Amino acid sequence: MITAEYCQTMARYNAWQNRSMRESFKALGMKELEKDRGAFFGSMWATANHLLWGDQIWTARFDGGHGPDGGITDSTKLHDDLQLFLDDRLRTDERIIRWANKVNHIDLVGPMSWYSGAMKKTMTKPKALCVMQLFNHQTHHRGQIHAMLTAAGAKPDDTDLPFMPEA
């Protein structure tokens, strides 16, 4: 279904896109980031916090490490300080890259079980599908953020995979 190389490529893509997002966030400032722009979570800030929270939840499930406290309803309030968010975003991106660089074929095979606070029950799905969820969730919400950044006058990087820098 998916490969270790897919995980490594998508982890690099995630980090590349988040570098661009971080630079745009610094240029715009909190007032613009917190403005309700009609997105599912309202603002760029709430969406970015939810995205980071989701990355941390899924990565903890994969690497056995610690995930964020609180449930999905708290996800949009993960951070209230831009620099703390930016630092945590960078750490999380590096954590995802470390995990992806260690993953092998057998790590992507078989079932994975976890308790879903959103569904209020234990879920079991194929591991590969759960990994795809991590990367799909990132792309979905970062696409929303990219659109809001562009509308706010920021100039984030292109989002096309073929244009990702090699290193």
Specify the long-range contacts of residues 32-39, CB closer than 8 Å, at least 24 apart: 32/152, 33/82, 35/152, 37/148, 37/151, 37/152, 39/144, 39/148
Query: For residue 135, what is the domain's CATH number?
Result: 1.20.120.450
Does residue 4 fall inside a structural domain?
no
Does residue 91 fall inside a structural domain?
yes
Q: What does the pLDDT average to over 15-27?
A: 97
Does residue 3 fall inside a structural domain?
no
Does residue 88 fall inside a structural domain?
yes
Does residue 151 fall inside a structural domain?
yes
Q: What does the pLDDT average to over 146-164?
A: 96
Residue 131, pLDDT above cutoff 90: yes
% pLDDT > 90, the chain? 95
Q: Which amino acid, 41?
A: F
**What's the whole-number average pLDDT of the chain?**
96
- The total number of structural domains that make up the chain: 1
* 62 vs 1: which has the higher pLDDT: 62
CA distance readout (Å), 38 to 65, 122, 153: 34, 32, 16
Give the residue numbers spanning the domain of 22: 11-163
What pTM does this model have? 0.96
Does residue 1 fall inside a structural domain?
no
Distance, in Å, from the CA atom of 154 to the CA atom of 145, rounded to the nearest integer, reads 11
Does residue 132 fall inside a structural domain?
yes
Distance, in Å, from the CA atom of 84 to the CA atom of 109, rounded to the nearest integer, reads 36
Beta strands in the chain (DSSP E): 111-116, 121-126
Question: Which pLDDT does position 99 carry in this prediction?
Answer: 98
The residues with which 56 forms a beta bridge, in sequence order, are: none
Q: pLDDT (tens digit, 9 = 90+) per residue, 72-126?
A: 999 999 999 999 999 999 999 999 999 999 999 999 999 999 999 889 999 999 9
Does residue 129 fall inside a structural domain?
yes
